[in-house]
Structure 1
Amino acid sequence: MDLHFDIETEATHHSMALPEEKQPTQIFNNANLPVLLKFCDVVYKTNVEKEGFVNKKVEENTILKGVSGIVKPGEILAMLGPSGSGKTTLLTALGGRLGGKLYGNITYNGKPFSNAMNRLTGFVTQDDVLYPHLTVTETLIFTALLRLPSSRFTKEEKIMHAKNVIAQLGLTECKDSMIGGSILRGVSGGERKRVSIGQELLMNPSLLLLDEPTSGLDSTTAQRIVSTLSELAIDGEKTIVMTIHQPSSRIYYMFHKVLLLSEGNLVYFGMGSEAIKYFSSINFAPSMAMNPSDFLLDLANGIYTGQANEDHALNKKKLICSYKEHFSDTIEPIIFHENCDFDKSEGRFEDEKSFGNWPTNWWQQFILLLRRDVKERRYESFSCMLISEVIAAAIITGLVWYKSDISHLQDQIGLIFNMINFWFAFPLYRAIFTFPLERPMLEKERSSGMYRLSSYFMAKSAADLPMELVLPTGYVIITYWMTGLKANAVNFMCTLSTILLHVLVAQGIALAIGAITMDMKSVTTMAAVIMLIFMLSAGYFVQHLPKFIVWLKYISPSFYTYQLLIGSQYKSSEIYPCSNNNNGVCSVAEFPMIKTQMALDMREQGMAALALVIMLIGYRVVAYIALLRIGVTKNMA
């Protein structure tokens, strides 16, 4: 694949070039079969640490307490309940993304969750996890190119399908607009939500799960989204399950089934239109005409508005027990016996091997992820502000040490150490937030089996290289010739190569810290402490470290960079003016900051270069291993 492949141009070209039989509406040809979702007596428990008088106590907390239900193809199930009732936990369990102490039985056409089912499941999170600097078209085309299997679809078909989804979701008018974010202005909240839904629809999922798809939207936009989902369910025979907090009455009556949770307990499951009738039958009738969802949420919160229009606290335990009796008599037989033809049918899903572990090969993933990263980060990496900062720092450094020659050896070594510290801190703080900021996206995409972690990691590292290498190169070019360092091409190239190697090591350290910690506040503090330790142990401030901490310098990249930069400028035979002897000159090799570090010893120089190369690789391996724990479902390889 060509790295400079233009998405907009190619998308237009393919829409004109595709023959009639390959238009986007015919790409999938209804390949994905309907899914009957059943969940019976689902229980989920977690361990919670509580502060005790002497030490911490671990208590078991039950989040879901025996929840059951059934959703057929063409139906929408809405899960209602107050905050903390377990809606999102149940939805995550149905999507096969919940590990730990999960009990009960969840089946898809009578079979457990599998890699094949994962490919047929779309999961839309409550927060829209999207790249802000990509346009709507770029977002959906990159997703299509990565998620649709190359063994079944050509690149042209993938692009055409992305364009079809854009039209299907009514995103044509904003297709060239950036997604935007908290700082960057982009598409509206409703359009952003439709883009998130569109990413899942690209796979033509048989089962679509959505967590609060109307959260933060106005009633009209929310109704438009639910109406679109209703059309998808009916026309495409899709099984749709969503959590929703407080839908309007117009939205409520679009749901085929409703499931009401209260503190992890099932309070109601059945037809949405029958909910009021059921609660009236057990003497909990609303005293006035009201939105059914408001009435259900009041009950789930333990509040009942009586005939006198006064709110009374109700016994939720009694309400739950009443429903359990009703459930065992009327609902449970349906869940276990309805639509048995789905349960008994064999071969309803394609064979596991036909899906493979990944939709595209490693090289395709790397190229696509690299292109996406470059497009997303082009505004940040090549910003005028960033370039101006580096140029300003280079000029100020050049002016402070202007034409400083070997007669001012102390000053020149100070310049070298200043360059080391600047080009440790700069890449460190640019790269340290990479993985903490990327974590939601990595979890989302890895859970859907979009790409290998190795291809993502290599693409992320490669995308940073241009500015990570261009900026220090520009800095050294400006500073080197202003400050009176040796005006020789060999010395210059040795200095530049050492600085670039130092920058890459600092970047690796930052990636490792970020991947291990994954916390924005913690990484900042940790980076400051590590930078201070490495700076103090480099050999500039302290030449004779105490024996019990002398080992610190051997893990400090600044120590090895210091040795290499000294060696790139001075030879053991050189002298400098001093007042320590009668001749008025001293050997450079005897200067305290050089002698104690054995910086001019060729063997030590070689060992220093080798140490930096090992660090360059080693810290990235640490970062990669730390990322392995993130975003991999139990069914993915």
Structure 2
Amino acid sequence: MQFEEVVYKIKINQGGILNKNVAKTEEKQILRGVSGVVLPGEMLAMLGPSGSGKTTLLTAVGGRLGGGLAGSITYNGMPFSNAMKRNTGFVTQDDALHPHLTVTETLVYTALLRLPRTLTKQEKVQKAEAVITQLGLSRCRDSIIGEPLLRGVSGGERKRVSIGQELLINPSLIFLDEPTSGLDSTTAQRIVSKLWELSNGGRTIVMTIHQPSSRLYYMFHKVLLLSEGNPLYFGKGSGALDYFASIGFAPLLAMNPADFLLDLANGVATADTNEDQTAIKQKLVLAYKTNLSDNVNAELNVGYQCYDSTMDDRQFRGWATTWWEQFSVLLRRSLKERKHDSFSGVKIGQVLAISILCGLLWWKSDISHLQDQVGLFFFASGFWGFYPLFQAIFTFPQERMMLAKERASGMYHLSSYFMALTSGDLPMELVLPTVFVLITYWMAGLKPTPQCFFSCLFALLYSVLCSQGLGLAIGAIVMRQRSAIVLGSVIMLTFLLASGYYVQNVPKFISWIKYISISHYTFKLLLGSQYKPGETYPCGSGKTCLVEDSPSVKPVGLDGQAASLMALAVMLVGYRVIAYVALMRIGVPKR
């Protein structure tokens, strides 16, 4: 892999809310002409303080950065392509893993998605087993990954699982962002040792690392030192101290080479601590251009002559698996992971408690208590509007890191992921409202006919699917959980207010809201499931009145059932289309 004069710029806004009149856009340069080459069998470590551009450079050379990127980045002399994307491994700093899956399940599902269709399912499982053995994960193979509030494998084991996901495709080039971050020195040593063994096997390893120990430092074949986007050193790790000593920067006592390099990158010179930090950095940048730049360019030219042009065609030129295979694997993975959340004891207990409480409050009501029954239907439309909405809002924000990582690796079509996730949620989303109707309907003494019961159940389930779609759309657009919750609450409360129960004489200039309200159409369908035009009820003093003329029913009406079904159908599909389109922006940026 070669990168030559890589420059990256971003635009930032100056000013802000308090200074709108002086707000302007400025361009900030993150990388300032960085070059280097890494050959098979070599491990390159990018060093530098926070904000020096390490991760930006790694993301750029890993084919995952777009925008204001300039310079040349090639892989065996070829530009980045989809085939190369599926032939390289990229391990992010934050391990994006499903917490309820075991180590074995995580790697097996990854193998089924990423390995080519020429392999049988059993052969793919064997590949996953081999990686488990190779990375020393046999002891925890049946342990779940876990998360902060769910006990699982250790941090080092999580990192090895993330590395194992990339090793499944047997990549010749592996990128790692801070693979030792947050780990103790012994665990970090084990991980880097595994990477060193992989590089000795002919792979090319590129990583960022913040402050390695001296034991780790001497495993690196090459080191790239960055400071504020400028290269200060590129070459053999063992030769870094000699180089800086030759230009007048040498440690006064024996110390970890990585610590000394980071001091220099921060503008701290051991020999003269009183010297200005900015001046030291400028001196180091100038020294690099004078002493090392020509050597790096010469190494680049040699690298261009050594690549094997057939490498890019090695495997995975197209999708590794078919759309249906992707959907099938993702559906099974989604059901196994999300069932723990959807069927948690708290949620089941909540629905059971609400169902029984509603049944007791509306115990054996009949049409003589029309107002009470209408109130029950309005409550049901409101509760089963909010409940699935908030369930769905969290779906994509929680999956964002996983989706970005897996799409960047070319594991599957976005459509197969979206269909698997939404299809897998359907049975889980529909079970609890069905339980609610089964309990509350009969306790409340509603009409005991199959037609009325199933019409009520259908209307409620239909509403749940529409509310779920709205939640998916809000979550996919906003992607920040707190903001999504606020937006979802405002929208659903607006729908409830406009549904025709609270306010019956809505001014015409705002009455249009009911035509986009899920609650309005659900409320109308629930009323239609129980009452028919021309039906009467006792309205006091021995008189009978038409149900449709009741003050609580008349604003909504019993007509327009077919139109309500069509409106909800449009919402059912439309909200999911919006969610899908919003998700399309998550993935690999175009270069």
1:47 paired to 2:3: no
1:313-324 to structure 2, matched below 5 A, reads 313=277, 315-324=280-289
The correspondence for 1:350, drawn from 313, 321, 327, is: 313
- Give how far 1:108 is off: 1.0
Change over 3 Å in CA distance of 1:310–1:187 after alignment to 2: farther
1:425 paired to 2:382: no
* Secondary structure of 1:510 counterpart: helix
- Give how far 1:385 is off: 2.1
Q: Deviations over 1:145-176 (max 9, x none)?
A: 000111x2111111100000000000001000
- Give how far 1:336 is off: 2.1
1:478 paired to 2:432: no
The correspondence for 2:31, drawn from 54, 64, 72, is: 64
- Aligned residue in 1 for 2:203: 238
- Aligned residue in 1 for 2:348: 387
The aligned amino acid for 2:444 is: T
* Secondary structure of 1:83 counterpart: coil
- Aligned residue in 2 for 1:22: none
Percent identical pairs in the alignment equals 61
Answer yes or no: is the 8 Å Cα contact 1:305–1:312 preserved in 2: no
- Give how far 1:544 is off: 2.1
- Give how far 1:489 is off: 1.1
Q: Deviations over 1:592-630 (max 9, x none)?
A: 23223232x2xx111111111111111111111111111
1:9-158 to structure 2, matched below 5 A, reads 37-51=1-15, 53=19, 54-150=21-117, 152-158=118-124
1:156-167 to structure 2, matched below 5 A, reads 156-167=122-133
1:620 paired to 2:581: no
- Give how far 1:311 is off: 8.5
Q: How far apart in 2 are the matches of 1:633 and 1:449?
A: 12
Answer yes or no: is the 8 Å Cα contact 2:43–2:222 preserved in 1: yes
Q: Deviations over 1:170-196 (max 9, x none)?
A: 000100000111110100100000000
1:441 paired to 2:405: no
- Give how far 1:478 is off: 0.5
- Aligned residue in 2 for 1:372: 333
* Secondary structure of 1:105 counterpart: strand
- Give how far 1:79 is off: 0.2
1:597 paired to 2:556: yes
Answer yes or no: is the 8 Å Cα contact 2:374–2:553 preserved in 1: no
* Secondary structure of 1:58 counterpart: strand
- Aligned residue in 2 for 1:256: 221
The aligned amino acid for 2:362 is: W
- Aligned residue in 1 for 2:587: 631
Q: How far apart in 2 are the matches of 1:102 and 1:501?
A: 48
1:406 paired to 2:328: no
Q: How far apart in 2 are the matches of 1:369 and 1:348?
A: 30
- Give how far 1:356 is off: 4.2
Unaligned runs of 5+ in 2: none
Answer yes or no: is the 8 Å Cα contact 1:424–1:502 preserved in 2: yes
- Give how far 1:77 is off: 0.3
Answer yes or no: is the 8 Å Cα contact 1:427–1:506 preserved in 2: yes
Answer yes or no: is the 8 Å Cα contact 1:47–1:58 preserved in 2: yes
Q: How far apart in 2 are the matches of 1:312 and 1:356?
A: 53
Unaligned runs of 5+ in 1: 1-36
1:271 paired to 2:236: yes
- Give how far 1:73 is off: 0.2
Q: TM-score, normalised by structure 2?
A: 0.97
Q: How far apart in 2 are the matches of 1:411 and 1:259?
A: 74
Q: Deviations over 1:244-293 (max 9, x none)?
A: 00000000000000000000000000000100000000110100000000
Q: How far apart in 2 are the matches of 1:55 and 1:462?
A: 50
Q: How far apart in 1 are the matches of 2:30 and 2:9?
A: 6
Q: How far apart in 2 are the matches of 1:631 and 1:163?
A: 29
Answer yes or no: is the 8 Å Cα contact 1:306–1:312 preserved in 2: no
Q: Deviations over 1:390-434 (max 9, x none)?
A: 111000001111111111111110011011111111111111110
Query: What do you get for the CA RMSD once the two structures are aligned?
Result: 1.5
Q: How far apart in 2 are the matches of 1:574 and 1:72?
A: 83
The aligned amino acid for 1:39 is: F
Change over 3 Å in CA distance of 1:285–1:312 after alignment to 2: farther
Q: How far apart in 2 are the matches of 1:346 and 1:570?
A: 74
Q: Deviations over 1:361-385 (max 9, x none)?
A: 1111111001001111222222222
Q: How far apart in 1 are the matches of 2:64 and 2:228?
A: 21
Change over 3 Å in CA distance of 1:140–1:454 after alignment to 2: same
- Give how far 1:238 is off: 0.5
- Aligned residue in 2 for 1:503: 464
Instruction: Select between 248-257 and 589-598 the one with higher mean Cα deviation.
Output: 589-598
Q: How far apart in 2 are the matches of 1:48 and 1:393?
A: 50
Corresponding pairs, count:
587
The aligned amino acid for 2:99 is: P
The aligned amino acid for 1:270 is: G
Change over 3 Å in CA distance of 1:529–1:42 after alignment to 2: same
1:175-574 to structure 2, matched below 5 A, reads 175-235=141-201, 237-306=202-271, 313=277, 315-338=280-303, 340-342=305-307, 345-350=308-313, 355-574=316-535
Q: Deviations over 1:483-506 (max 9, x none)?
A: 121111110000000000000000
Q: How far apart in 2 are the matches of 1:445 and 1:382?
A: 26
